[in-house]
Structure 1
Amino acid sequence: MMTTIQLMHNKKTMRFDVVQMTIYKQTKIVEAIGQKNQSYYLFFYKDRYINAKKTTSIRLQSFLKNALQYGYTFTADHPLTKALLTEEKAYRLTSNNQMVQKLSNKYNETEMLYVLAMFDNYVNEKKIQALCKKTFYNYRRNGQLKKAFRILANYAQVRPQDMFAKDMLQHFDFQKYKDQYQDIEQLTIEWSDPLYLESVYFEQKFPDTVINFVIQQYHKDNRKFDQLFLIYMKCSSLEVVSKLDELCQELLSEQDQIALWEDLLASYPAPKTIIEKLVKLNGYQAILKYYLHHHEAIEDRELFEKSLESVSTDQLIEDYQPLLQALMLTYKDDTAQLERVLHLTIKKLLQYLPLKDIITSLKDTELPIMQKLRKMDKLTDNPDQQFALGEIYYDLEQYDQAIACFEWEMELAPEDPAPIQYLYKSYLAKGDKEQANTYKQLMVNIPS
Structure 2
Amino acid sequence: MNHLTTITLMEKGNRKTLLTPIRMAVHSPCSILEATSSTGDLYHAYFYRQQFLAAKKITRSKRSSYLEQALTKGIVFLCPHPVVDKLVSQNETFKNRSLTDLLSFTKRRYTPIEVSQIFRCMDSLIQGDKLFKVMRDVYYDYRRDGKWGKAYSVLLTLEEAFPENQWIASTKHDASFSSYHEKYELNDESLLQHDRSTLEWKLWKNREHPVHRSVWMSSFGNDPSYSIASFSLLYEEQYLNTTEDSFSLFLDTARHHFTQHELKDILIRMADSEHSVIHQAAFRQCIRISAWEEAMTTLIHHPFDLSAQDSRNIKEAIPKVNWDNQLPIEQLSMALIPILKENKHELDSILTACIPILSKTHNLAYLVDWLKPLEKVQCNLPIYQRVQKLLKYAEDPNQQALAGELYYQLGLNREAIDSFSYEMELNPEDPSPVKWLSTLYRETGQADEAAAYQQLLQSMR
The verdict on a shared fold, with TM-score over 0.5 as the criterion, is yes
- Alignment-mate amino acid for residue 210 of structure 2: D
Counterpart in the other structure of 1:14: 18
Asked if the contact 2:43–2:57 (Cα under 8 Å) also holds between the matched residues in 1, the reply is: yes
Counterpart in the other structure of 1:328: 341
Counterpart in the other structure of 2:40: 37
Alpha-carbon displacement from aligned partner over 1:406-428 (angstroms, at most 9, x marks no partner): 79969x99x99789758845753
Alpha-carbon displacement from aligned partner over 1:260-310 (angstroms, at most 9, x marks no partner): 457489777988996998599468938983997454xx5x4x223223224
Q: Distance in 2 between matches of 1:269 and 1:406?
A: 45
Q: Distance in 1 between matches of 2:456 and 2:204?
A: 81
Alpha-carbon displacement from aligned partner over 1:169-211 (angstroms, at most 9, x marks no partner): 24444333334323x15x2355332222222222322533344
Q: Distance in 1 between matches of 2:37 and 2:414?
A: 45
Distance 1:374 1:253, change over 3 A: same
Deviation at 1:158, TM superposition (A): 4.5
- Alignment-mate amino acid for residue 121 of structure 2: M
Counterpart in the other structure of 1:203: 205
Alpha-carbon displacement from aligned partner over 1:415-447 (angstroms, at most 9, x marks no partner): 99789758845753xxxxxxx478569869999
Deviation at 1:326, TM superposition (A): 2.1
Distance 1:273 1:60, change over 3 A: closer
Asked if the contact 2:435–2:453 (Cα under 8 Å) also holds between the matched residues in 1, the reply is: no
Distance 1:31 1:380, change over 3 A: farther
Counterpart in the other structure of 2:261: 255
Asked if the contact 1:292–1:323 (Cα under 8 Å) also holds between the matched residues in 2, the reply is: no
Asked if the contact 2:300–2:331 (Cα under 8 Å) also holds between the matched residues in 1, the reply is: no
- Alignment-mate amino acid for residue 35 of structure 2: A
- Alignment-mate amino acid for residue 207 of structure 1: H
Alignment of 1:20-419 (within 5 A): 20-78=23-81, 80-86=83-89, 89-161=92-164, 164-182=167-185, 184-185=186-187, 187-191=188-192, 192-219=194-221, 221-222=223-224, 223-234=226-237, 236=242, 239-240=245-246, 243-260=249-266, 263=270, 278=285, 281=288, 285=295, 289=299, 293-295=303-305, 298=306, 300=307, 302-312=308-318, 313=321, 314=323, 317-331=330-344, 339-347=348-356, 350=359, 354-363=366-375, 366-378=380-392, 392-398=406-412
Distance 1:323 1:203, change over 3 A: same
Q: Distance in 2 between matches of 1:98 and 1:372?
A: 77
Q: Secondary structure at the match of 2:130?
A: helix
- Alignment-mate amino acid for residue 353 of structure 2: L
Q: Distance in 2 between matches of 1:83 and 1:117?
A: 25
Deviation at 1:146, TM superposition (A): 2.3
Aligned-CA RMSD value:
4.6
Asked if the contact 1:30–1:42 (Cα under 8 Å) also holds between the matched residues in 2, the reply is: yes
Q: Secondary structure at the match of 2:59?
A: coil
Asked if the contact 1:63–1:159 (Cα under 8 Å) also holds between the matched residues in 2, the reply is: no
- Alignment-mate amino acid for residue 200 of structure 2: E
- Provide TM-score, normalisation by structure 1: 0.75
Q: Distance in 1 between matches of 2:271 and 2:379?
A: 35
Asked if the contact 1:157–1:196 (Cα under 8 Å) also holds between the matched residues in 2, the reply is: no
Asked if the contact 2:29–2:48 (Cα under 8 Å) also holds between the matched residues in 1, the reply is: yes
Asked if the contact 1:29–1:41 (Cα under 8 Å) also holds between the matched residues in 2, the reply is: yes
Q: Distance in 2 between matches of 1:238 and 1:210?
A: 20
Q: Secondary structure at the match of 1:239?
A: helix
Asked if the contact 2:50–2:228 (Cα under 8 Å) also holds between the matched residues in 1, the reply is: yes
Q: Distance in 2 between matches of 1:206 and 1:66?
A: 15
Alpha-carbon displacement from aligned partner over 1:101-158 (angstroms, at most 9, x marks no partner): 3222321111122112212222233222221122222222233322222222134335
Q: Distance in 1 between matches of 2:414 and 2:115?
A: 68
Q: Distance in 2 between matches of 1:352 and 1:162?
A: 71
Asked if the contact 2:30–2:46 (Cα under 8 Å) also holds between the matched residues in 1, the reply is: yes
Asked if the contact 2:24–2:31 (Cα under 8 Å) also holds between the matched residues in 1, the reply is: yes
Asked if the contact 1:29–1:42 (Cα under 8 Å) also holds between the matched residues in 2, the reply is: yes
Alpha-carbon displacement from aligned partner over 1:217-272 (angstroms, at most 9, x marks no partner): 32563222222122333463692556534421232221332454574897779889
Counterpart in the other structure of 1:432: none
Distance 1:174 1:340, change over 3 A: closer
Asked if the contact 1:157–1:199 (Cα under 8 Å) also holds between the matched residues in 2, the reply is: no
Distance 1:408 1:166, change over 3 A: farther
Asked if the contact 1:265–1:290 (Cα under 8 Å) also holds between the matched residues in 2, the reply is: no
- Alignment-mate amino acid for residue 204 of structure 1: N
- Provide TM-score, normalisation by structure 2: 0.73
Asked if the contact 1:258–1:286 (Cα under 8 Å) also holds between the matched residues in 2, the reply is: no
Identity, % of aligned positions: 18
Q: Distance in 2 between matches of 1:291 and 1:329?
A: 20
Asked if the contact 1:343–1:369 (Cα under 8 Å) also holds between the matched residues in 2, the reply is: yes
Alpha-carbon displacement from aligned partner over 1:43-97 (angstroms, at most 9, x marks no partner): 2222223233322321113211122222232332555444444398234444333
Deviation at 1:321, TM superposition (A): 0.2
Q: Distance in 2 between matches of 1:210 and 1:144?
A: 27
Distance 1:216 1:260, change over 3 A: same
Q: Distance in 2 between matches of 1:61 and 1:117?
A: 12
Q: Distance in 2 between matches of 1:402 and 1:96?
A: 77
- Alignment-mate amino acid for residue 122 of structure 2: F
Deviation at 1:98, TM superposition (A): 3.2
- Alignment-mate amino acid for residue 373 of structure 2: S
- Alignment-mate amino acid for residue 371 of structure 2: I
Deviation at 1:358, TM superposition (A): 1.4
Asked if the contact 2:438–2:454 (Cα under 8 Å) also holds between the matched residues in 1, the reply is: no
Q: Secondary structure at the match of 1:102?
A: helix
Asked if the contact 2:280–2:304 (Cα under 8 Å) also holds between the matched residues in 1, the reply is: no
